[in-house]
Amino acid sequence: MYPILETERLLLRPMGKSDFDTMFAMRSNKEWCATMLARPAQAKSDAYRIEFTHGLQNGTFFTVWLREQDDFIGFVEVDKYWRGSKNAKVIDYAGLYCMLLPEYWGSGLEIEALTKAIHFAFMGLNVNWLFAGHLVANPAPAMVITQLGLSHHSRCGGKNNPHEQYRYTRADYLKNNALADECVYDYNIKQSPYGHDNPIRVIDEIKIPENVDVGLCGQSVIAMLTGLSIAEVAAVMHVGTPGQEVHPSYMEYTLDYYGIKRKGSWGKRIAINKDTVLPDTCILLMNAPEGWNYFSLYHKGKYFDLRVGIVEKLPDSIKPISYVWEIYN
């Protein structure tokens, strides 16, 4: 997950589940949201919860707080865009979005928050370029965007959502900022030393981690496949807090990082019924008695599950819904 970022007057904290009410208060205000690009107001909490959960899964949001008063004043999003490479996916570029409460508009705090977010994007995420924009009907943010160093790129969105897009390349950022080489972040995307022709290991034996919170199910499954600790896997996945939801793209990225061959995708997962024949090794999506879902592992006739351990037959209270990825050597 993103680290906490600090500036002279602000703390930018990774968004957590406890931020729902403050975020919804902003995202449901039509007047405020009308000023933002790609952020129409969410009138109903149930509808916003879908957006909020997606934001938690992707881990792209910072909530912005005044340091001394510890008051919530808005959010910044550094949205990651991935691309494929030979060994693993890497983050190619990022999109910047920001909304502060109206009483802080024009205070310089937006510049302060976004300056830090840009530094993190280039020096923490190592993106090649980033973009920001504003609605054509609301040109006021252009002054802030250009002050941050971005240059106008194009008008986008057609007739339905016309907006101006601005971009900033890593080369220009390094040229314009004397302190740009100061990288103080733990969140670094490392080039993988593995590949499908050089996996971390041959999967011939599975050991289930002991005393692990089921909230780390995604990390645990990959730890079982790689033979590594959950902490080592979480450091690559950048999701290490129990209960922080793991987006499927993070699972795929981490599998690719370790050179683990897979078939299938989240969007094309295979439903399981009593007649389904499972592959020798696959990652399952399970339904717990409490009604929530989690990841588990099946390997050569046995279930490796954080809730029930290693079993050949699951209890009736836990049901496999689908298998997402078939794993093979």
Tens of pLDDT, residues 111-125: 999 999 999 999 888
pLDDT at 303 over 70: yes
Tell me whether strands 129-135 and 90-100 are parallel, antiparallel or unpaired.
Answer: parallel
Residue 182's pLDDT is what? 58
Tens of pLDDT, residues 218-244: 999 999 999 999 888 887 887 655 555
Residue 187's pLDDT is what? 65
pLDDT at 146 over 90: yes
Number of domains in the chain: 2
184 domain-assigned: no
Where does a domain end: 124, 159, 176? Answer: 176
Token look-up 């089921």 returns 214
Query: Which H or E run contains 64?
Result: strand 61-66
- Report the CATH number that the domain containing residue 13 is assigned in CATH: 3.40.630.30
If asked whether residues 171 and 221 sit together in one domain, one would say no
Tens of pLDDT, residues 27-42: 999 888 888 877 788 8
254 vs 237: CA distance, rounded Å: 6
pLDDT at 48 over 80: yes
If asked whether residues 158 and 254 sit together in one domain, one would say no
If asked whether residues 268 and 167 sit together in one domain, one would say no
Where does a domain end: 176, 191, 226? Answer: 176
* Long-range CB contacts for residues 166-174, cutoff 8 Å, separation at least 24: 166/131, 166/132, 166/133, 166/142, 167/129, 167/130, 167/131, 168/118, 168/129, 168/130, 168/131, 169/128, 169/129, 170/122, 170/126, 170/127, 170/128, 170/129, 173/118, 173/122, 173/149, 174/122
197 domain-assigned: no
Three-state DSSP class for residue 329? coil
If asked whether residues 167 and 19 sit together in one domain, one would say yes
Rounded average pLDDT over 164-176: 92
Nearest to 1 by CA among 62, 52, 46, 48: 62
223 domain-assigned: yes
Q: Exposure of 313 by Cβ count < 10 A (0-12 exposed, 13-18 middle, 19+ buried)?
A: exposed
93 vs 86: CA distance, rounded Å: 18
105 vs 183: CA distance, rounded Å: 29
Query: What's the start-to-end Cα distance of the chain, in Å?
Result: 30
Tally of CA atoms within 13 A in the half-sphere of 294 that contains its CB: 23
State the residue range of the domain holding 35: 5-176
